[in-house]
């Protein structure tokens, strides 16, 4: 494991996994030995450096060798508790468990028992289409046939050959789809990679009538992923929406969604919701957001925590374009009361950022400034990546400019230029760089929006901006913010007016 591997391992644990580990650790500790849990808490609660002399002295009186043995043991015990806790979450985990048990009983010369586990593993591997695990299973059964005369090796040699042929077919298709997906993703879905899209069409035509394709959910999901990526690259959101609705219906009717593929259903719903929002179909998006909520509760909330943030953000996007700002604030206030949600720092940013934007849309500048201060002046800000940090700083400057705190804006922009020098030199951040220049001029000039030279600069920025896109990265759209000032309108009034003009009946 790499340096600070234990720290990363501990911080990756969910609340349930931590609880399970502590129960497990309390059972395996020898009497009077509490150092495993003490080391765990030093790293998790006290945020101590796992290599610091303080922690070595505190736990092992400075004995480094004893401390590193303890550290290695803690790593092993956490890993083992994870294996125990998650052993039934994925069908493939169950298959691996049966394969391991078969090996154990083979070592014990309990060959019939070993065969029972391998046959159970085979049945499950066939169900989940895991040809790699099937290859291992058939190899073990064939090896076992030399010790157990009741096994006819010819049967499993034939099964292995059939599985190998399917493996080769899967591998060929996987290779093509992996290359296509990589080309689409690395071109940043710019719509320019026609060769990849043409190859995808040819691949679908080649495989869609084969029996392997018809009977394989795995292959159908892979091709589905490529099609939606291709439509995204072409920025054809109308076609993407139609395709996702149709695919969801077909996959549901054919029973392709199971516990093993449940995450694929959730991802499909998330893509569909995002497409509906992009296409201004906000009311329809709420229907699928509710379906997403129901899916997150299934299988003992298997993917609940992973996609909870996405669920709430989807609601907020749709509500914001429907003028339901009161409902957004009510939702966010409820989330603030939930320790399981608010205690995650990224979720705190989610709450405060959305409250900032929503209060601003309600023309409550005082509250908007108060909530963005909760981000900038706390540890929440430190945990954000540079892209989010820059976005937060720009929004704060926009609010301060509205509050006519022009000296603060001028000083803050100078700091932003130094802090984000590398980003602002990049072609990917030229829009932010130009907008900061406008904010600086606006704060530096007396009655800036009455000066023709400044107005011309603002108009040039507006003219060169991409069309307004619901759900885009700018929490307060730079273009509409400037356009509202030129037209003497309230920002949110212009947002709703823009949305109303673009709204289409699904």
pLDDT at 218: 80
pLDDT at 191: 43
Distances (CA, A) of 228 to 147, 203, 222, 245, 267: 51, 15, 10, 12, 11
| Domain-embedded: residue 173 | no
Is the pLDDT at 180 greater than 80, yes or no? Answer: no
Is the pLDDT at 202 greater than 70, yes or no? Answer: no
| 393 and 439 inside one domain | yes
Q: Which of 189, 222, 187, 184 is nearest to 203 (CA)?
A: 222
| 405 and 475 inside one domain | yes
Average pLDDT, integer, range 250-258: 93
33-36's contacts with Cβ under 8 Å and 24+ in sequence apart are 35/59, 35/60, 35/70, 36/70, 36/73, 36/74, 36/77
- What would the pLDDT profile of 85-94 be if each residue is shown by its tens digit? 988 888 889 9
Q: At what angle do helices 345-361 and 365-376 cross, to 10 degrees?
A: 160
pLDDT-derived band at 4, boundaries 50, 70, 90: confident
Query: What pTM value is reported for the model?
Result: 0.76
pLDDT at 32: 46
pLDDT-derived band at 363, boundaries 50, 70, 90: very high
| Domain-embedded: residue 428 | yes
| 429 and 477 inside one domain | yes
| 17 and 132 inside one domain | no
Is the pLDDT at 194 greater than 80, yes or no? Answer: no
| Domain-embedded: residue 301 | no
Average pLDDT, integer, range 151-176: 87
| Domain-embedded: residue 42 | yes
- What would the pLDDT profile of 467-498 be if each residue is shown by its tens digit? 999 988 899 999 999 999 999 999 999 999 99
Is the pLDDT at 275 greater than 80, yes or no? Answer: yes
Query: What DSSP designation does 426 have?
Result: S
Q: State which of 34, 69, 85 marks the end of a domain.
A: 85
| Domain-embedded: residue 485 | yes
Per-residue burial over 402-429, b if 16 or more Cβ lie within 10 Å, else e, is beebbeebbebbeebeeebeebbeeeeb
Tokens read off for 462: 């507006």
| 391 and 478 inside one domain | yes
pLDDT at 163: 93
| 402 and 486 inside one domain | yes
| Domain-embedded: residue 467 | yes
Q: Give the torsion through C-alpha atoms of 130, 268, 11, 95, to 10 deg.
A: -20
| 389 and 495 inside one domain | yes
Total domains in the fold of the chain: 3
Portion of the chain with pLDDT greater than 90, in percent: 68
pLDDT at 181: 67
pLDDT at 340: 75
| 496 and 411 inside one domain | yes
Average pLDDT, integer, range 90-116: 94
Q: State which of 85, 101, 132 marks the end of a domain.
A: 85
pLDDT at 447: 93
Where is average pLDDT lowest: 231-245, 279-293, 349-363?
Answer: 231-245
Is the pLDDT at 12 greater than 90, yes or no? Answer: no
| 75 and 147 inside one domain | no
- What would the pLDDT profile of 23-82 be if each residue is shown by its tens digit? 988 887 765 468 889 999 999 888 888 998 889 999 999 999 999 999 999 999 999 999
| Domain-embedded: residue 41 | yes
| 439 and 480 inside one domain | yes
| Domain-embedded: residue 160 | no
| 57 and 97 inside one domain | no
Is the pLDDT at 423 greater than 80, yes or no? Answer: yes
Cα Rg, the chain, nearest whole Å: 28
- Cα(51)–Cα(501) distance, integer angstroms: 59
Q: Note the Cα 295 to chain centre separation in Å.
A: 17
Is the pLDDT at 272 greater than 90, yes or no? Answer: yes
Which domain does 45 fall in, by range? 5-85
| 397 and 499 inside one domain | yes
Q: State which of 38, 68, 85 marks the end of a domain.
A: 85
């Amino acid at each position: 494991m790499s340096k600070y591997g234990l720290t990363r391992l501990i911080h990756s644990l969910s609340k349930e996994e931590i609880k399970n580990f502590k129960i497990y650790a309390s059972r395996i500790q020898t009497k009077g030995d509490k150092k495993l849990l003490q080391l765990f808490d030093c790293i998790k609660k006290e945020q101590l450096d796992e290599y610091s002399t303080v922690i070595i002295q505190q736990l092992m009186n400075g004995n480094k060798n004893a401390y590193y043995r303890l550290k290695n043991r803690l790593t092993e015990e956490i890993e083992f508790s994870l294996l125990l806790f998650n052993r039934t979450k994925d069908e493939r985990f169950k298959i691996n468990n049966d394969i391991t048990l078969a090996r154990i009983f083979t070592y014990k010369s309990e060959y019939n028992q070993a065969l029972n586990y391998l046959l159970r593993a085979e049945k499950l591997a066939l169900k989940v289409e895991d040809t790699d695990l099937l290859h291992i299973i058939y190899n073990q059964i064939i090896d076992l046939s030399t010790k157990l005369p009741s096994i006819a090796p010819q049967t499993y040699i034939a099964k292995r050959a059939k599985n190998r042929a399917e493996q080769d077919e899967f591998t060929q298709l996987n290779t093509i789809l992996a290359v296509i997906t990589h080309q689409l993703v690395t071109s940043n879905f710019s719509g320019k990679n026609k060769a990849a899209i043409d190859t995808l069409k040819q691949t679908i035509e080649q495989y869609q009538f084969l029996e392997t394709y018809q009977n394989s959910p795995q292959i159908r999901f892979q091709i589905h992923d490529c099609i939606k990526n291709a439509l995204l690259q072409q920025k054809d959101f109308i076609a993407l929406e139609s395709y996702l609705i149709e695919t969801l219906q077909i996959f549901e009717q054919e029973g392709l969604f199971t516990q093993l593929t449940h995450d694929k259903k959730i991802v499909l719903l998330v893509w569909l919701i995002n497409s509906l929002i992009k296409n201004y179909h906000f009311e329809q998006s709420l229907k699928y957001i509710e379906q997403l909520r129901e899916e997150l509760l299934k299988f003992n909330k298997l993917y609940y925590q992973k996609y909870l943030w996405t669920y709430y953000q989807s609601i907020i996007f749709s509500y914001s374009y429907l003028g339901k700002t009161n409902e957004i604030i009510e939702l966010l206030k409820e989330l603030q009361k939930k320790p399981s949600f608010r205690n995650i720092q990224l979720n705190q940013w989610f709450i405060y950022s959305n409250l900032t934007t929503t209060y601003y849309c309600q023309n409550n500048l005082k509250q908007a400034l108060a909530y963005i201060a909760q981000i900038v002046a706390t540890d929440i800000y430190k945990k954000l990546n540079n892209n989010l940090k820059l976005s937060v700083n720009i929004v704060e400057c926009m609010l301060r400019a509205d509050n006519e705190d022009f000296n603060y804006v001028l000083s803050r922009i100078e700091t932003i230029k130094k802090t984000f020098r590398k980003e602002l030199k990049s072609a990917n951040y030229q829009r932010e760089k130009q907008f900061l220049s406008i904010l600086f001029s606006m704060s530096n000039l007396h009655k800036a929006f009455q000066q023709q030279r400044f107005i011309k600069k603002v108009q040039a920025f507006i003219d060169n901006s991409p069309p307004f896109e619901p759900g885009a990265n700018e929490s307060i759209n730079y273009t509409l913010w400037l356009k509202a000032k030129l037209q003497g309108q309230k920002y949110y009034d212009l947002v709703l007016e823009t949305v109303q003009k673009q709204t289409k009946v699904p």
